[in-house]
């Protein structure tokens, strides 16, 4: 019913108007927007649960393959612990290499998820509803993977607890002046905050799953749902906590990649010692992170048949966001580069010569992936809504951002103040295996997670559908949204 009336049925029963013009508009609206295409909650529940429980041979093959890669990763790591960091390609000048680049990269791709969810929630942008969980999940496992790398990186991993502020008999505390300590604190806060944020939103979905499953799943969801009954008070508290946590998450998100960048910029290393690194890294993280969320959205939609929930409107919106981030990132990179170039300090000139000389393929390849490709494609709505094209663009951005990270760590370190200490860095097999294995770990965790937790926040979708409805104003159908919260 387009007319407001107390006698109308539930929100998902809205017959199309008889007027052909209006009917056409309504059909268009429903096709375009998930929230104007309501279905009964029970149907949506069934849809999501069925996708969650389905595990075919292809799924297990994927898990087996990824599991194999993760085993290789673990064995390589064990060998590294036994034989020392010497099995990597690091040397006396380049003491940080791919492990730190991976830390930056994985935090980066894990960055955007919760941020998108929290920031869009703060701004009441309802299109986030179906994609929030998929994005938050990549934060969760992106951070988990990133968190492995400081552990892999250190020389004596069995002494890592020295970094924790735990009481000990010598009264020795960690060094609060070290950027590594700030970084560790920021990452820990973000992991805890984003996990809480995600879990709070998961409770109603766990309760839903609890009510519709049996066996081990029933037991698991009963525990995880924390006795959720769906009373008015519970929903109210859920809303309050989610809003509060969104406001907490956003500043913490900024602190995390700023902290990571400060590991580099607080040092005296030429090229690193730059005040712009904080915001530059945050933008870079969002850039690769949003591209990663798009990749995940496409994969979840195609592999789990989520075409009803994740639609073109979402890809279009995310594509525009990605384009904005492309431009922002270019601006920051340009500002950083031109200051160094104009400053013309000898060690920084040496770094620039290194990048445009022997490492030119990597450097120009990075610029091509991060600047040319996104700028050439993302302006077009047709490409933004074409899943194959968007997938390729997002993947290319991942490659570009990874190159950027590895160059900024290893290539910069290979040039420093005293030319006698210029040592080039070449990666060796263990580092490559560990990097590929960590990526597999992230994908594996994500894949398994989609089979134990509803990857679409169903309650958010039907809440969104309930508060929105089309209204007729004259000869036009207009989307409206109630503020009843």
Partner 1 sequence: MSETVTTGHKWTMIVDLDKCTGCQACVVACHAENNVPTANEDEVVRGRANHWMRIERYWEGEYPHVQARFIPVFCQQCEEAPCEPVCPVYASYHSEQEHLNMQVYNRCIGTRYCGNNCPYRARVFNYHAPHWDAPLEQQLNPDVTVRSAGVMEKCTFCIQRIRRAEEDAKVEGRPLRDGEVVPACVQACPTDALIFGDLNDEESRVARMLPDERQFKLLENLGTQPAVYYLKGGETHVGE
**Candidate list 172, 214, 482, 485; residue touching partner 1; CB under 8 A:** 172
Listed ranges 172-180, 304-312, 398-406, 462-470: which one lies at the site for partner 1 (CB under 8 A): 172-180
Q: Among residues 174 and 365, whose Cβ is nearest to partner 1?
A: 174
| 327, 290 contact by CB (below 8 A) | no
Minimum distance, C-beta of residue 161 to partner 1, in the bound complex (Å): 9
As given in the structure block, the two tokens for residue 86 are 């010497």
423 is an interface residue for partner 1 by CB under 8 A: yes
Query: Are 385 and 312 in contact, with CB atoms under 8 Å apart?
Result: yes
**Which single residue is written with the structure tokens 């995600």?**
198
In whole angstroms, give the CA distance from residue 470 to residue 485.
Answer: 19
CB 143 to partner 1: min, Å: 19
Q: Which of 15, 68, 358, 419 binds partner 1 (CB under 8 A)?
A: 419
Please give the DSSP secondary-structure letter assigned to residue 127.
G
Minimum CB distance to partner 1, residue 96 (Å): 6
From candidates 297, 413, 442, 461, binder to partner 1 by CB under 8 A? 413
In the shown chain, the binding pattern of residues 63 to 102 toward partner 1, with x for contact by CB under 8 A and - for none, equals --------------------xxxx--xxxxxxxx------
Mapping DSSP to helix (H, G, I), strand (E, B) and coil, where does residue 70 land?
helix
**Which position among 4, 7, 169, 175 is part of the footprint of partner 1 (CB under 8 A)?**
175
Is 163 or 436 the residue whose CB approaches partner 1 more closely?
163
Separation CA 327–CA 231 (nearest Å): 46
Residue selected from 114, 246, 416, 465 as contacting partner 1 according to rule CB under 8 A = 416
Shortest Å, Cβ 41 to partner 1: 50
- Identify the residue among 195, 235, 417, 466 touching partner 1 (CB under 8 A): 417
Taking the complex as a whole, the smallest distance from the CB of residue 81 to partner 1 amounts, in Å, to: 9
349 makes contact with partner 1 (CB under 8 A) = no
Q: CB-wise, 175 or 231, nearer to partner 1?
A: 175
Cα distances from 452 to residues 210, 218, 264, 300, 456, in angstroms, run 12, 11, 38, 14, 12
Q: Which is nearer to partner 1, 418 or 473 (CB)?
A: 418
Ranges within 267-296 binding partner 1 (CB under 8 A): 267-269
The region, left, alpha or beta by phi > 0 then psi within -120 to 50, assigned to residue 226 is left
# binding residues, partner 1 (CB under 8 A): 45
| Dihedral angle of Cα 217, 223, 229, 235, to the nearest 10 degrees | -110
Rounded to 5 degrees, φ, ψ at 226 are 55, 35
Determine how many CB atoms are found less than 10 A away from the CB of residue 61.
10
* Token digits of residue 54: 């389905």
For the chain, the 3-state helix, strand and coil shares in percent, each to the nearest 5, are: 70, 0, 25
Tell me if 154 contacts partner 1 by CB under 8 A: yes
Calculated CA dihedral for residues 194, 195, 196, 199, nearest 10 degrees: 120
If one asks whether residue 148 binds partner 1 (CB under 8 A), the answer comes out as: no
Rg (CA), the chain: 25
155 is a site residue for partner 1 (CB under 8 A): yes
161 vs 216 by CB, closer to partner 1: 161
User: Does the protein bind partner 1 through residue 160 (CB under 8 A)?
Assistant: yes
The residue ranges that bind partner 1 (CB under 8 A) are: 83-86, 89-96, 150, 153-157, 159-160, 162-163, 172, 174-175, 177-181, 184, 263, 266-269, 413, 416-421, 423-424
């Amino acid at each position: 019913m387009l007319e407001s009336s107390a006698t109308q049925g539930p929100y998902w029963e809205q017959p199309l108007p008889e007027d052909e013009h209006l009917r056409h508009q309504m059909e268009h609206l429903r096709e375009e927007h998930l929230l104007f295409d309501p279905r009964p909650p029970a149907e949506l529940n069934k849809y999501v649960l069925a996708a969650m429980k389905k595990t075919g041979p292809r799924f297990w093959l994927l898990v087996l393959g990824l599991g194999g890669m993760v085993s290789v990763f673990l064995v390589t790591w064990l060998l590294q612990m036994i034989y020392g960091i010497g099995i990597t390609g690091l040397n006396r000048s380049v003491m940080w290499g791919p492990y730190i680049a991976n830390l930056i990269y994985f935090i980066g791709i894990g960055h955007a998820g919760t941020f998108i969810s929290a920031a869009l929630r703060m701004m009441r942008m309802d299109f986030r509803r179906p994609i929030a969980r998929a994005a938050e999940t990549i934060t969760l496992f992106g951070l988990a993977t990133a968190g492995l790398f400081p552990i892999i990186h250190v020389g004596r991993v069995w002494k890592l607890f020295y970094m924790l502020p735990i009481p000990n008999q010598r009264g020795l505390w960690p060094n609060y002046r070290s950027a590594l300590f700030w970084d560790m604190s920021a990452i820990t806060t973000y992991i805890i905050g984003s996990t809480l944020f995600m879990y709070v939103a998961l409770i109603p979905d766990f309760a839903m799953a609890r009510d519709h499953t049996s066996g081990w799943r029933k037991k698991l969801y009963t525990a995880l749902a924390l006795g959720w009954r769906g009373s008015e008070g519970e929903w109210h508290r859920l809303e309050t906590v989610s809003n509060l946590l969104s406001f907490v998450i956003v500043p913490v998100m900024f602190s995390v990649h700023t902290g990571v960048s400060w590991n580099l910029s607080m040092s005296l290393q030429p090229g690193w010692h730059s005040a712009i690194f904080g915001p530059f890294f945050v933008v870079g993280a969002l850039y690769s992170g949003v591209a990663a969320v798009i990749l995940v959205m496409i994969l979840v939609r195609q592999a789990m048949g989520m075409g009803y929930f994740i639609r073109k409107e979402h890809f279009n919106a995310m594509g525009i966001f990605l384009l904005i981030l492309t431009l922002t990132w270019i601006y920051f990179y340009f500002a950083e580069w031109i200051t160094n170039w104009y400053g013309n300090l000898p060690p920084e000139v040496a770094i620039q010569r290194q990048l445009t000389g022997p490492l030119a393929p990597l450097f120009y390849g990075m610029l091509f992936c991060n600047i040319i490709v996104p700028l050439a494609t993302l302006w077009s709505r047709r490409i933004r809504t074409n899943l194959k094209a968007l997938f390729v663009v997002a993947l290319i951005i991942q490659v570009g951002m990874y190159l950027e990270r590895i160059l900024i760590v290893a290539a910069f370190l290979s040039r420093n103040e005293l030319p006698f200490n210029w040592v080039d860095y070449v990666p060796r097999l263990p580092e490559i295996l560990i990097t590929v294995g960590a990526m597999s770990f992230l994908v594996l965790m994500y894949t398994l997670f989609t089979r134990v937790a509803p990857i679409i926040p169903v309650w958010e979708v039907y809440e969104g559908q309930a508060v929105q409805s089309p209204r007729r104003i004259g000869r036009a159908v207009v989307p409206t949204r109630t503020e009843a919260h």
